[in-house]
Amino acid sequence: MNPPGAAWLSLIKIRMTMADMALCADQDRWARELKWTVSRTGFGARHYRDPRFDLVRELEEVGRLFTV
């Protein structure tokens, strides 16, 4: 059996998630159109990452292998 108030807590969590998604919707859509990854880090906070930086890191590592 659920403790008293669990339904209210669940409702509040759902509403907070909806508000968070609405708050960041435009930025998230823009980042996804650019093929970036979007990670939610808190209410109204996101971490946007451009995957092209993986290629830069790989090329730097390959360059280090060939320089003596």
Q: Which residue has the tokens 């970036």?
A: 36
pLDDT at 5: 80
Which pLDDT value is given to residue 19? 95
Given this model, what pLDDT does residue 68 score? Answer: 56
d(CA 47, CA 66): 34
Per-residue pLDDT of the chain in tens (68 residues, 90 and over written 9)? 567 788 899 999 999 999 999 999 999 999 999 999 999 998 989 999 998 887 777 777 777 777 75
Contact, 38 vs 28, CB < 8 A? yes
The reported pLDDT for the residue numbered 2 is 67
Phi, psi for residue 46 in degrees, rounded to 5: -135, 160
